[in-house]
C-alpha cells in the first residue's frame, strides 16, 4: 500500500493539528465508504463537517500508522442540504450560527448556495435576520467560496496556503488573474509578499529573466523599497546598482530600461547632479507640500488682536520666558508658518501653552495634533487641551486599502491656527494631506526636535524645512526642566553634544555598566521583574541584544506558554494570547470599536507604530483581537498578524513619537551604521520618568562619538527653495 496513489472524497471529522503559517494540517476524515483515514499535508483552513477532495499517496508513520500524504486537498461545495447546514453552522461563515444555518437551509433548500452568492435581501425573509446580518452572512460565504477556489490555483505557483489566502483576501475574485497577468503587483500590494516571491512566480508564468517587463518591475520595486526605507527618490546610479543587485540583470539593459521609463513619463528624472529618479507620486507630493507652505507663509494673515500680553501671561503663570522662548512666541504670532525646534526640557510645551492663550484670547480657533496617538495624548496632557492624531483631525475613513480623508482643500479645517508636535515624524504624504486641509489664511506652527531620527516614512520634513532657510525657525537650546525627568533631559543633551551621559541627581537616568551579554540580560530581567510594564528599546533588530532575540526571551519571561493560552506561528514568529504587539504597517480597512461607557464608537484604520495587547486568539475561527493602548478593540483575520510584531522590545526607529514612563536601552558592541549619536539621543528622549542605559562604557562612548547621519534621499529642501525663489547658499 505504501507509495500507492489515492484519490477520494471525504468528510472532515476533525482537524487534529494545523500550522497557520504554512498550512500543514493533520486531518481525520470519513470516506464515502465509511472508512476512517488520517491525511497530512498543506490545505486551506477547514472545519468539521466540510467535504474535501483528496489526492495523494499512502504512507506509513511508525508512531501514527497508515496515513495519506496529500498532494492536493480541495474543499468541495456542499452538495446536499444536510452538508450545507453543517458548513454554515461550522463557524467559518461570519454571522451564521446553528439556528440561522438551520433556518436558511429549511427556507431555501437546494437553492441555498445560489441565494448566498446572490442578493442578501433574500435572507431577510427569515425572522431575526436583518439586512446588516444578511449582508455579513452573504459576504462571508462568498469570500469563503472565493478563497477556496483561489487558494488551490495560487498554490500551484509555489505559494504557501497563508500567502495564497492573503492574496485572495486582497484581490478577491480577480486574484488568480492578477498573478498570471502581473505577479509583480503582489510585492507592492500584499503584506508578506516581497519582490523575490513575486519574481519567482513571474518565472513560473513564463516571464523571461532578461525581459524588459521584469527589469521595469525591478526598477519600480527598488523605488518602492526606497520609499519604505524613508527616501523619496534614489540617485540614478544607486537605482541602477540596486536593481542589478536584486535581479542580476545586465547593467546596460537596466540603464536602457530606466531611460525608457523616464522618457515615457512612468518614472520622473528630476534636475540635479545626482540625477534623482522618482516615482511620480513622491515627486508630486514634495512639490505640492512646498507650494502649499509657500502659500501659507506668504498669504495675508489677520493680526491677532489679543487683550493679553506676554508680560501679563508671565506674571499670571509665574514663569519668566527666556529671550529664545519669547522669540518663538512672537514668530508664531506674526508669521503664517514657523518652525520651533529644541530638545527635551527646552520649553516647547511652555511656548505652546502661551500661544494657545494668546491666540484664543484674540478669538482665534486653535487645534493641536501629532502624527501618533501616543504623541497626541502626551500633548493633550501637557497643555490641558484636546489633541488629535493627524489622521483623526483630518477625519480619516478607511476603504479599499486607500486612505480617504474627509478634510481637504474642498472641506478645510475650521481652525485659525494648526499646531503640530513631533514634526520630525511626519512624512511627506501625511504632510501633504494636512496642508490640503489648512485654509490659506490660517497659521501653521510646526514643533519638533531636529536632532531626533527622521521619520520612518518617506521624506525628511523637519530638517529640510530648517535647512532650506525659507521658513522662519527658532531653535531652543537652553534646558529649563527641573525635578522629575531633568536627569533624562540633561543626559540626552550631553549625548547630543558628543559627551558621555551622567547619572541623574534624581535617579531618573541611570547608566548600569555591564560588559557581557549575560550580564546585560541578567540586569534587564531583574528590572523587568520589578516593573513588567517597562519598555525595552534596542538599537538594532539583530544580535543577542537585538529586538528579535530580546522579544523571544521577554515573551518567555512575561508571557510563557500555557495550555489555556492559544498561540499561532506567523512568518516564523510565535504569537500568544496576552502578548504585547505593535502594528508595523498601515492598514486602512481594519475595523475597530471603542467602548466609551454610554456609547460605542466605531471606525476603521490601524496605523504603523500603534501598540496594544493580543487579548484573544482563536485558531479555529482564524481570528485575533487586539486591544490597543487607547482602548480601541480591533478584530483581525489571523493572517493579518503578519502586519504586527511582538513588542516587548522595539527598535529606536519604531519608538519615535512615543514616550514611555520607563525604558531600558541595552548597548553592547559597535556598529558604525547603527550605533550613532542621534540614535542614542532619540532612545533616551523616549523616557519620561526613568531611563536605564545598560551596557559597556566602550559601546556608549563609541555611540556618543559617532555623529554619522543616516543618508536619506529627499528633494523637499530643493522644492522649498524653488517654491520660495530662494537661492542656494
pLDDT digits (tens, 9 = 90+) for 210-240: 889 899 999 999 999 999 889 999 999 999 9
Phi and psi, residue 680, nearest 5°:
-65, -40
d(CA 510, CA 505): 10
Give the count of beta carbons closer than 10 Å to the beta carbon of residue 54.
22
Nearest to 557 by CA among 578, 543, 571, 572: 578
Phi and psi, residue 9, nearest 5°:
-105, 145
Q: From edge to edge, which strands make up the β-sheet containing 234-235?
A: 234-235, 276-278, 268-269
Rounded (10°) angle between helices 251-263 and 236-247 = 130
d(CA 538, CA 680): 9
Residues linked to residue 687 through DSSP beta bridges, in sequence order: 660
d(CA 29, CA 229): 48
Are 703 and 677 in contact by the 8 Å Cβ rule? The answer is: yes
Are 369 and 477 in contact by the 8 Å Cβ rule? The answer is: no
Are 590 and 636 in contact by the 8 Å Cβ rule? The answer is: yes
Residue ranges, the chain, pLDDT below 70: 1, 20-22, 398-403, 481-485, 620-621, 670-673, 727-729
Phi and psi, residue 481, nearest 5°:
-65, 135
Nearest to 454 by CA among 518, 371, 528, 382: 371
Grid cell for residue 390: 493627524
Using H for helix, E for strand and C for coil, what is the string for 597-627? CCCEEEEEEECCCCEEEEEEEECCCCEEEEE
HSE on the CB side for 571, CA within 13 Å?
16
Non-local CB neighbours of 10 within 8 Å, separated by 6+ positions: 29, 30, 31, 32, 37, 39, 51, 52, 54
CA distances, 56 to each of 2, 67, 261, 716 (Å) = 11, 10, 47, 59
d(CA 294, CA 254): 38
pLDDT digits (tens, 9 = 90+) for 334-385: 999 999 999 888 889 999 999 999 999 999 999 999 998 778 888 888 899 9
Residues linked to residue 507 through DSSP beta bridges, in sequence order: none
Are 56 and 71 in contact by the 8 Å Cβ rule? The answer is: yes
Domains of the chain: 4-154 (2.40.50.140), 179-275 (1.10.10.2220), 284-482 (3.40.50.300), 499-705 (3.40.50.300)
Paired sense of beta strands 387-389 and 51-61, if any: unpaired
Q: Is 299 helix (H, G, I), strand (E, B) or coil?
A: coil
d(CA 524, CA 519): 9
Non-local CB neighbours of 710 within 8 Å, separated by 6+ positions: 453, 454, 673, 676
d(CA 308, CA 691): 39
Q: Is 676 helix (H, G, I), strand (E, B) or coil?
A: coil
- Helices (H) and strands (E) in the chain — how many of each? 26, 30
Nearest to 569 by CA among 12, 41, 24, 14: 24
d(CA 126, CA 148): 27
Ramachandran area for residue 555 (φ above 0: left; ψ -120 to 50: alpha; else beta) = alpha
Phi and psi, residue 228, nearest 5°:
-65, -25
Can you say whether the dihedral through the CA atoms of 711, 713, 714, 717 is positive or negative?
A: positive
Nearest to 429 by CA among 279, 556, 540, 328: 279
Cα R_g (the chain), whole angstroms? 29
d(CA 716, CA 64): 64
d(CA 265, CA 283): 12
Q: From edge to edge, which strands make up the β-sheet containing 600-606?
A: 600-606, 587-595, 632-637, 623-628, 611-618, 580-583, 644-646
pLDDT at 728: 60
Residues linked to residue 646 through DSSP beta bridges, in sequence order: 581
d(CA 83, CA 28): 17
Amino acid at each position: 500500500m505504501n507509495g500507492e496513489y489515492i484519490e477520494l472524497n471525504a468528510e472532515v471529522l476533525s482537524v487534529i493539528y494545523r500550522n497557520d503559517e504554512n498550512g500543514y494540517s493533520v486531518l481525520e476524515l470519513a470516506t464515502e465508504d465509511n472508512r476512517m483515514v488520517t491525511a497530512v499535508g498543506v490545505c486551506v483552513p477547514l472545519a468539521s463537517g466540510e467535504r474535501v477532495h483528496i489526492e495523494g499517496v499512502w504512507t506509513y508513520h511508525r508512531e501514527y500508522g497508515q496515513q495519506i500524504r496529500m498532494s492536493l486537498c480541495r474543499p468541495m461545495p456542499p452538495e446536499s442540504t444536510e452538508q450545507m447546514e453543517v458548513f454554515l453552522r461550522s463557524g467559518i461563515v461570519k454571522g451564521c450560527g446553528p439556528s440561522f444555518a438551520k433556518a436558511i437551509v429549511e427556507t431555501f433548500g437546494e437553492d441555498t448556495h445560489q441565494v448566498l452568492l446572490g442578493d442578501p435581501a433574500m435572507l431577510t425573509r427569515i425572522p431575526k435576520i436583518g439586512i446588516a446580518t444578511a449582508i455579513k452572512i452573504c459576504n462571508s460565504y462568498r469570500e469563503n467560496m472565493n478563497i477556496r477556489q483561489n487558494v488551490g490555483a495560487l498554490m500551484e505557483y509555489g505559494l504557501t496556503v497563508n500567502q495564497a489566502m492573503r492574496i485572495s483576501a486582497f484581490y478577491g475574485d480577480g486574484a488568480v488573474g492578477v498573478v498570471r497577468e502581473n505577479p509583480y503587483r503582489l510585492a507592492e500590494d500584499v503584506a508578506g509578499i516581497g519582490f523575490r516571491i513575486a519574481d519567482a512566480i513571474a518565472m513560473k508564468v513564463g516571464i523571461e529573466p532578461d525581459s524588459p517587463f521584469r527589469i521595469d518591475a525591478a526598477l519600480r520595486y527598488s523605488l518602492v523599497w526606497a520609499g519604505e526605507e524613508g527616501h523619496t527618490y534614489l540617485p540614478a546610479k544607486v537605482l541602477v546598482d540596486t536593481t542589478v543587485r536584486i535581479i542580476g540583470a545586465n547593467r546596460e539593459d537596466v540603464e536602457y530600461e530606466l531611460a525608457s521609463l523616464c522618457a515615457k513619463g512612468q518614472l520622473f528624472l528630476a534636475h540635479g547632479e545626482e540625477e534623482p529618479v522618482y516615482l511620480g507620486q513622491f515627486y508630486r507630493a514634495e512639490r505640492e507640500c512646498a507650494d502649499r507652505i509657500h502659500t501659507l507663509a506668504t498669504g495675508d494673515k489677520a493680526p491677532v488682536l489679543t487683550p493679553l500680553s506676554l508680560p501679563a501671561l508671565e506674571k499670571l503663570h509665574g514663569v519668566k520666558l527666556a529671550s529664545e522662548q519669547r522669540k518663538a512666541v512672537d514668530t508664531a504670532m506674526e508669521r503664517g508658518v514657523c518652525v520651533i525646534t529644541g530638545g527635551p526640557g527646552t520649553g516647547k510645551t511652555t511656548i505652546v501653552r502661551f500661544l494657545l492663550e494668546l491666540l484664543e484670547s484674540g478669538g482665534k480657533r486653535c487645534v493641536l495634533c501629532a502624527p501618533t496617538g501616543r504623541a497626541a495624548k502626551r500633548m493633550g496632557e501637557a497643555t490641558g487641551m484636546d489633541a488629535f492624531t493627524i489622521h483623526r483631525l483630518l477625519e480619516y475613513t478607511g476603504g479599499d486599502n486607500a486612505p480617504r480623508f474627509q478634510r481637504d482643500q474642498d472641506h478645510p479645517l475650521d481652525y485659525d491656527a494648526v499646531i503640530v508636535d513631533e514634526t520630525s515624524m511626519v512624512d511627506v504624504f501625511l504632510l501633504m494631506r494636512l496642508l490640503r486641509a489648512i485654509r490659506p489664511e490660517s497659521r501653521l506652527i510646526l514643533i519638533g526636535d531636529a536632532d531626533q531620527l527622521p521619520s520612518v516614512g518617506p521624506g525628511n520634513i523637519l530638517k529640510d524645512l530648517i535647512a532650506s532657510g525659507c521658513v522662519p525657525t527658532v531653535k531652543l537650546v537652553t534646558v529649563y526642566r527641573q525635578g522629575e525627568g531633568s536627569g533624562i533631559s540633561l543626559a540626552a543633551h550631553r549625548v547630543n553634544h558628543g559627551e558621555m551621559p551622567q547619572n541623574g541627581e534624581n535617579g531618573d537616568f541611570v547608566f548600569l555598566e555591564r560588559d557581557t551579554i549575560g550580564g546585560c540580560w541578567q540586569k534587564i530581567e531583574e528590572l523587568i521583574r520589578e516593573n513588567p510594564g517597562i519598555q525595552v528599546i534596542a538599537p538594532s533588530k539583530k544580535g543577542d541584544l537585538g529586538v528579535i532575540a530580546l522579544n523571544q526571551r521577554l515573551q518567555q519571561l512575561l508571557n510563557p506558554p500555557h495550555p489555556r493560552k492559544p498561540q499561532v506561528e506567523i512568518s516564523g514568529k510565535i504569537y500568544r494570547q496576552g502578548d504585547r504587539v505593535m502594528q508595523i504597517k498601515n492598514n486602512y480597512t481594519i475595523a475597530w470599536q471603542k467602548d466609551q461607557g454610554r456609547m460605542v464608537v466605531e471606525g476603521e484604520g490601524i496605523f504603523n507604530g500603534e501598540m496594544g495587547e493580543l487579548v484573544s486568539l482563536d485558531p479555529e475561527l482564524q481570528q485575533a483581537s487586539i486591544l490597543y493602548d487607547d482602548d480601541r478593540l480591533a478584530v483581525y483575520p489571523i493572517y493579518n498578524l503578519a502586519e504586527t510584531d511582538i513588542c516587548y522590545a522595539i527598535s529606536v526607529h519604531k519608538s519615535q513619537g512615543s514616550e514611555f514612563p520607563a525604558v531600558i536601552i541595552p548597548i553592547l558592541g559597535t556598529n558604525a551604521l547603527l550605533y550613532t549619536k542621534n540614535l542614542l539621543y532619540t532612545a533616551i528622549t523616549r523616557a519620561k520618568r526613568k531611563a536605564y542605559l545598560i551596557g559597556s562604557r566602550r559601546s556608549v562612548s563609541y555611540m556618543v562619538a559617532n555623529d554619522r547621519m543616516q543618508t536619506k534621499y529627499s528633494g523637499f529642501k530643493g522644492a522649498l527653495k524653488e517654491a520660495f525663489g530662494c537661492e542656494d547658499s
